[in-house]
Amino acid sequence: MSIFEYNGSALVAMVGKNCFAIASDRRFGVQLQTIATDFQRIYKIHEKLFIGLSGLATDTQTLHQRLMFRHKLYELREDRDMKPETFASLVSAMLYEKRFGPYLCQPVIAGLGDDDKPFICTMDSIGAKELAKDFVVSGTASESLYGACEAMYKPDMGPEELFETISQALLSSVDRDCLSGWGGHVYVVTPTEVTERILKGRMD
């Protein structure tokens, strides 16, 4: 078993019309044993920028704390929030500088940039970015998430339709992966509001 699969995870971000959604499962396990069913994988950087971290849970929490520290320094120096593209470059640089002993996690970054244009990207554990215009996935359920998102995604969805699509894609995918699941956690972000919802899923 790969160290990235040790705790299990499922992450997906999807783009709509001037909005985006980011969703994760809630299981925290040690290999096949479930430890907790309310684990947080998605973190808010500011009102229009979120990061999801899949991989080894200890490293995801450490990386989140270091990213919050760097973002707060940026806020103090620049007196503004970081753009999603800038934040993605920061995450990539932080991962790459530790490339010989990397943080064992794979981030998914989603945010609203200039003119409320949605931006999503993911990267591997040493910071190689992969940009997308529709959706990005990460975690142990990534293969089934790719299939579900390919089938369900369509461009320019509104916030409610986007929520429905990403939720169905997440729930159907984690049912096909025994290392992730136990419900879901979904954020839908528009220029004016952030909606957070908890999904109930199969508890096995």
How do residues 41-87 score in pLDDT, each as one tens digit? 999 999 999 999 999 999 999 999 999 999 999 999 999 999 999 99
Among 86, 72, 81, 132, smallest CA distance to 108 is for: 132
For 46, the 3-state DSSP assignment is strand
- Is pLDDT of 3 > 90? yes
Average pLDDT over residues 133-158: 94
Token couple for 40: 């947080």
d(CA 109, CA 71): 14
- Is pLDDT of 203 > 90? no
Among 32, 30, 48, 50, smallest CA distance to 40 is for: 50
- Mean per-residue pLDDT over the chain, rounded: 95
Return the number of other C-beta atoms located less than 10 Å from residue 153's C-beta.
Answer: 17
